[in-house]
Amino acid sequence: MVVYLSSASDVSAVSAPLMTNGDGVGEITPSGAEGITPRAVGATDEPTRSTSNTLEEPKQTTDLLATDEKNERDQIVDSDERGLQLVWKQHPSIRYGSVFRLDFRARFQEDAHGSYDDAPGLNCRNTSMVKTCAWELHRNRVGIQGHFFKRIEFEVERELTEQELTERDLLIGYTAKSSWKDAYVNVSYIDNFQVQLGRFKIPFGLDELTSDVDNDFTYRSLGANHLASSRDSGVMVHGRFFKRGVSYWTGIFRHDGDNARSKRVEGGNETMAVRVTGTPFRRLSSPALGVLELGTAVAFTALPDDSVEPNGLRGRTTVTQDTFFEPIYIKGRRHRWEADLDWTVGPASARAEYTRVTDDRLQQGLGNQDLPDARAQSWYVSGSWILTGEPKTRPVKAAREFLRDGLGAVEVAGRYERLWFDSVGAETSAPLRNPRAEKIVPSGVRILTVGVNWILNRWITLQINAIREHVEDPERNPIADDGAFWSRVVRFQIVL
């Protein structure tokens, strides 16, 4: 049996196996610093599950990770050495040479938040009396991740604090969300043609595919939360060419993803999605240019009209959960398209994304006639800067960890975004709020988010965000006189 011991404060620390000789006496044998070999691209709450891990600081090379790939630098490489190994670097791990690996993972996010008085999204859950809760356990997830023979990879993750529906909710017809976040197997015998099967994220949207623990903000953009698909059950083929210069993901899924569903909205049915990313300037290795990645994705969904309730998309504010656009009746197909940009140079990064969704409304008029398509659009631009000088990676790694040899890493970030809903055409009709209206009353929200991220060490991060929101429809605005409002969020995050 082999137990690897390594310094938690030094990523480049040399690991040493603690081995027993024939007499059962422990002895230390030195081992060089090692790094994990690249793993397959996936699409989960960590958008894609490929990793390219080393025990050295990330360097600009000609074989860069795609934006959607996760970079876990702190794990030790799978060793071909025989025998059982127990390792704890970033995660507790059990390994048997190159035959088997099992990582135990967990993440906990506790939020302190506030906004205007009596905001509905800040009310305590599962209480008989309505009252505001200043604290919320935002996420509480545990899971496992590993592989067999480095080519058959798996991951299972479950949310422990998912709100269950009551019997009354089920009788009313509410739809429950799954507590299982990821549960999939990925076969990676051919890098250019990997196959993933199970429950994972539909490959659509840069912000949605970025893990919440790797995000620069406490909340994703509203476009990611309301227009992108998120997780569903399906099968996906994915791979990469030209040393990750071009990557692709294409899959077929049972439904439309978790983001299109709510208690009252069932969402769409069968969905097909395709995503492609590329780094057009990867051969220009100048550090001054950084790394620029461009991406785009499309998705097509079948829309039934089985539900008695309207089955369209809805819009809500970020923290307070005020509804500024109600679902409407839809039938036919849903068409999604997005384009994104991700640029990283030294300690700085910039991102931008545009998303457009249209829903057919076949035979949804009051006289059973076809209606013009419903439309939803969103965009955002964001930027970040690590004040302590570390290179921008996801997740950010502190060069000098707090209370060991420094203060950790400090990053500032800002984002401006807009999400809005309307209908296509019908210029001569008067806009109405009826869910079967020919012309839909336009409604949207503009949001400014500024924040500070303090990465104390590889496990603990503190995020502070100030969020200003302005609902554009005066009749839907929760603030009198069509005003804007500020919300504040402080998140304490632990990732194991």
Look up residue 431 and give its DSSP letter. Answer: P
Q: Using one digit for the tens of pLDDT, what is the confidence trace for 269-289?
A: 999 999 999 998 877 767 778
Q: Give the pLDDT confidence score for residue 153 in this predicted structure.
A: 96
Helix, strand, coil fractions of the chain, as percent rounded to 5: 5, 45, 50
Return the minimum-mean-pLDDT range out of 76-85, 207-216, 235-244, 454-463: 76-85
Which residues touch 43 (CB under 8 Å, ≥6 apart)?
A: 49, 68, 196, 200, 201, 202, 203, 209, 236, 238, 249, 251
Residue 410 token pair: 């400090």
Q: Return d(Cα 211, Cα 216) in angstroms, integer.
A: 10
Q: Using one digit for the tens of pLDDT, what is the confidence trace for 410-456?
A: 999 999 999 999 999 867 778 999 999 999 999 999 999 999 999 99
Bridge partners (DSSP) listed for residue 443 = 421
Sorted by where each begins, the domain ranges of the chain are 2-495
| pTM summary value | 0.81
Domain 2-495 indexed as CATH 2.40.160.10: yes
Residue 382 token pair: 């964001």
Q: Give the pLDDT confidence score for residue 186 in this predicted structure.
A: 97
In the structure, how many helices (H) and strands (E) does the chain have?
3, 25
Q: Give percent above pLDDT 70 in the chain.
A: 78
Which residues touch 4 (CB under 8 Å, ≥6 apart)?
A: 15, 16, 17, 18, 31, 76, 85, 86, 87, 89
Q: Give the pLDDT confidence score for residue 176 in this predicted structure.
A: 55
Return the minimum-mean-pLDDT range out of 87-91, 134-138, 172-176, 444-448: 172-176
Q: Return d(Cα 69, Cα 366) in angstroms, integer.
A: 48
Q: Using one digit for the tens of pLDDT, what is the confidence trace for 97-136?
A: 889 999 999 999 999 999 998 887 787 766 555 566 778 8
Q: Return d(Cα 41, Cα 487) in angstroms, integer.
A: 36
Q: Return d(Cα 383, Cα 304) in angstroms, integer.
A: 39
Q: Give the pLDDT confidence score for residue 322 in this predicted structure.
A: 93
Q: Give the pLDDT confidence score for residue 305 in this predicted structure.
A: 79
pLDDT at 201 over 90: yes
Return the minimum-mean-pLDDT range out of 163-167, 230-234, 389-393, 457-461: 163-167
pLDDT at 51 over 50: no
pLDDT band at residue 8 under the 50/70/90 scheme = very low
